């Protein structure tokens, strides 16, 4: 384990082990009889001591000793000297057991339990730990226990940080010491202790870990710590608002129903419900988004008490994405007018990250909503084609600047020292000989620099990052999929890094009211990223890629048409994120791998009705219980959508039985597998 090979037993060692096992079986039989009969005499407790000297992993024996100690203490609580004698004996037994097996979970837990009784001296514990850690400097049991003792003794975090200096200085490969250092620094940096400001301390830490990396390039301990430092450099502890839809200064065109009219190059949005989504995207999961923490000033009636909902799995109340639905049709006529809408985020406290940090960078954005006076009730029954009716986006147009909010978070963070620290690391790691870990770290550093750099130099960084991941895929086939995913993330960030790059993939669909269409097909993408830059997109073509999941698309609340054909999706549970897209009407999942695998673990990404006794059975469930059980993942996804067009051809699951099931679950379908349904 951890690079240390096991030694083969010699014949005499095997004989000794067999004798030990025979003795252990005899002791265990007597011990279990005492335990079941609740016998806590001195002889019985001594027997458990002998058992633990042979096998410190006998967890039942440790629990028995706890019961025995409680039994003794119940009669002598008024005598502190006797109490101390009993507890000190337990510490002695634990120490003896640890000499037999330094990694015994039961022994370490029992020692914690004894100290938590409060009558034993903890002054000797750190000295004892020093002796133990000299035997095995990387033992995580000892490091966990050390943190426990430090908390009991109120020893300062600064003193403990100095201890990690000593341990790392004597052994650069001490992963446990590096880990403990990251825990201590996280606390010191978070509370801004004296001498621990990020812009001063983190650059110093880079110098420390460089010594470890360049001393032994093949040791992983320093590399892991370097990755942690990079996260501290790039990530801001307090949550930030990354993007929104509508974005600041944008103009949107609203209409009721499905109008056949052709609107201007504004973002056009139609809804039978007479409302449109207001989307906030934060850089980390937050809670507390409500009408009190987000205020709306608008002449549109009926929006006084907006309800904000997190877009998250399993009804979590924290999420990066929050959505409210702003009404634009009410009992009062408001057609043919323009309305200014002002949104203030964070003016009142209450938005808090999942790590307990308050949203402090309040933000305000204003957009204009034009409500059209042309309303048509007739639905659009024509099939949506991904081949015809698209106009290329005008690269010189200024429309995109109003639609997309790019890199807002960069303006809200102190980036000068971060850029300098990352630039120094890049220069240093370019000097390393070609190696897998060196290339990977350089790619991560360049990605970090690209994220906080000006648009003019981002393209250069992303091109080099993409080449590095291509090299890694060729060098290290065992981690091919990881590199492939990271390559996809870098490619999507490159595409969305500037309006010039993004406009090359954007189109207008004439047959869908000039809806904004983004084509990311044939890019060999295996992962979705940068969706915070794409909240305005209404049609998305991800066909002919290598996607296994739609995770991330739940943020794109305007999405009405989605093409996922010719990917590697294996089940409908991989499409679970689409359940959050209330506007989705067209879905193409043809020519994937759905139903191909008899045992498909991705099916369990969403809950089966078989595992939920409180599952509310609807009409389809009562009429087709066997099919719901068979296709439960498809049922859970499709029942929450309001699809009018679905294509599932080219999948193993496709067939008459599944098609008839789909028609029951999605009754509003007009087109199935390219054929119009008879209604």
Tell me what pLDDT residue 1 has.
Answer: 46
Q: Which residue matches tokens 């000892």?
A: 142
Question: Which helix (H) or strand (E) element contains residue 287?
Answer: strand 275-287
Pairing of strands 390-392, 671-672: unpaired
Sheet bearing 251-256, strands edge to edge? 267-271, 251-256, 363-371, 337-345, 294-298
For the domain made up of 505-611+623-676, give the CATH fold.
3.80.10
The whole-chain average pLDDT of the chain stands at 85
Nearest CA-CA partner of 335 in 385, 376, 292 = 376
Encoded tokens for 502: 């993004």
Encoded tokens for 573: 């549970």
Domain locations in the chain? Answer: 17-234, 241-379, 415-453+455-494, 505-611+623-676
Q: What are phi and psi of 675, to 5 degrees?
A: -115, 135
How remote is the C-alpha of 484 from its chain's centroid?
A: 18
- Which pairs from 347-350 meet CB under 8 Å and 24+ separation? 347/293, 347/295, 348/292, 348/293, 348/295, 349/293, 350/288, 350/290, 350/292, 350/293
CATH class of 241-379: mainly beta
Q: How far is CA 623 from CA 541, 608, 609, 633, in A?
A: 36, 18, 15, 17
Provide the H-helix boundaries in 499-631: 499-503, 619-623, 625-630
Nearest CA-CA partner of 281 in 499, 535, 581 = 535
Tens-digit pLDDT profile for residues 597-609: 765 555 555 555 5
Tell me what pLDDT residue 128 has.
Answer: 82
- Beta-strand runs (E) in 379-432: 390-392
Diameter over CA atoms, the chain: 95
Hey, is 253 helix, strand or coil?
A: strand
CATH class of 17-234: mainly alpha
Q: Are 181 and 161 in contact (CB under 8 A)?
A: yes
Q: Are 280 and 321 in contact (CB under 8 A)?
A: yes
How remote is the C-alpha of 168 from its chain's centroid?
A: 31
289 CB-side CA count, 13 A: 33
Q: Give the pTM.
A: 0.85
Tell me what pLDDT residue 218 has.
Answer: 78
Q: What are phi and psi of 276, to 5 degrees?
A: -135, 150
Report residues of the chain scoring pLDDT below 70.
Answer: 1-7, 9, 77, 119-121, 256-273, 302, 329-336, 373-381, 395-414, 433, 454-459, 598-618, 621, 679
Tell me what pLDDT residue 378 has.
Answer: 40
Tell me what pLDDT residue 560 has.
Answer: 94
483 CB-side CA count, 13 A: 22
């Amino acid at each position: 384990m951890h690079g240390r090979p096991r030694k083969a037993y010699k014949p005499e060692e095997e004989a000794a082990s067999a004798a030990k096992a025979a003795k252990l079986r005899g002791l265990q039989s007597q011990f279990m009889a005492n335990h079941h009969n609740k016998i806590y005499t001195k002889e019985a407790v001594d027997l458990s001591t002998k058992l633990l000297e042979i096998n410190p992993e006998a967890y039942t024996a440790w629990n028995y000793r706890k019961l025995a100690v409680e039994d003794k203490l119940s009669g002598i609580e008024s005598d502190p000297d006797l109490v101390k004698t009993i507890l000190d004996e337990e510490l002695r037994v634990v120490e003896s057991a640890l000499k037999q097996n330094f990694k015994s979970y039961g022994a370490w837990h029992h020692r914690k339990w004894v100290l938590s009784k409060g009558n034993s001296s903890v002054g000797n514990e750190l000295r004892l730990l020093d002796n133990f850690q000299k035997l095995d400097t990387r033992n995580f049991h000892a490091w966990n226990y050390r943190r426990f003792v430090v908390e009991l003794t109120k020893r300062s975090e600064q003193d403990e940080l100095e201890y990690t200096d000593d341990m790392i200085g004597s052994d650069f490969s001490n992963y446990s010491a590096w880990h403990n250092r990251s825990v201590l620094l996280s606390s010191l940096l978070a509370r801004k202790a004296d001498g621990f400001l990020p812009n001063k301390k983190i650059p110093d830490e880079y110098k420390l870990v460089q010594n470890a990396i360049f001393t032994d390039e093949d040791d992983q301990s320093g590399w892991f710590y370097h990755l942690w430092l990079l996260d501290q450099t790039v990530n801001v502890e307090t949550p930030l608002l990354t993007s929104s839809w509508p974005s600041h200064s944008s103009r949107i065109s609203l209409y009721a129903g499905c109008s056949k009219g052709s609107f201007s190059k504004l973002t056009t949005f139609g809804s039978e419900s007479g409302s449109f989504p207001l989307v906030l995207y934060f850089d980390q999961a937050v809670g507390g988004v409500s009408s009190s923490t987000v205020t709306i000033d608008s002449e549109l009636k009926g929006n006084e008490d907006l309800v904000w909902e997190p877009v998250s799995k399993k009804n979590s109340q924290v999420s990066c994405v929050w959505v409210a639905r702003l009404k634009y049709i009410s009992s009062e006529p408001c057609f043919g007018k323009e309305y200014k809408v002002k949104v203030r985020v964070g003016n009142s406290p209450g938005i808090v990250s999942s790590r307990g940090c308050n949203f402090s960078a309040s933000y305000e954005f204003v957009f204009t909503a034009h409500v059209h006076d042309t309303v048509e009730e007739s639905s659009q029954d024509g099939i949506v084609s991904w081949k015809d009716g698209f106009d290329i986006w005008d690269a010189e147009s200024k429309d995109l600047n109003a639609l997309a909010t790019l890199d807002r978070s960069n303006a809200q963070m102190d980036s000068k020292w971060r850029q300098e620290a990352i630039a120094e690391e890049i220069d240093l790691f370019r000097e390393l000989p070609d190696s897998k870990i060196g290339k990977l770290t350089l790619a991560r550093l360049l990605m970090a620099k690209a994220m906080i750099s000006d648009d003019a130099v981002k393209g250069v960084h992303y091109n080099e990052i993409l080449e590095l991941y291509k090299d890694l895929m060729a060098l290290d086939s065992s981690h091919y999929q990881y590199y492939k995913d990271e390559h996809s993330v870098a490619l999507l960030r490159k595409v969305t890094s500037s309006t010039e790059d993004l406009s090359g993939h954007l189109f207008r669909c004439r047959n869908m009211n000039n809806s904004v269409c983004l084509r990311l097909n044939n890019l060999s993408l295996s992962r979705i990223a940068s969706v915070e830059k794409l909240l305005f997109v209404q049609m998305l073509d991800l066909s002919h890629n290598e996607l296994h999941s739609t995770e991330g698309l739940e943020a794109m609340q305007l999405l009405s048409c989605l093409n996922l054909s010719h990917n590697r999706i294996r089940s409908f549970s991989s499409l679970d994120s689409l359940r959050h897209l209330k506007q989705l009407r067209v879905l193409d999942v043809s020519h994937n791998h759905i139903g191909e695998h008899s045992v498909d673990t991705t099916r369990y990404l969403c809950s089966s009705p078989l595992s939920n006794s409180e599952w509310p059975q609807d009409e389809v469930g009562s009429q087709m219980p066997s099919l719901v059980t068979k296709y439960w993942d498809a049922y859970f996804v499709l029942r929450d959508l309001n699809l009018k067009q679905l294509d599932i051809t080219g999948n193993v699951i496709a067939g008459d039985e599944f098609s008839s099931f789909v028609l029951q679950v999605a009754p509003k379908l007009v087109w199935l597998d390219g054929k119009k349904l008879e209604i």
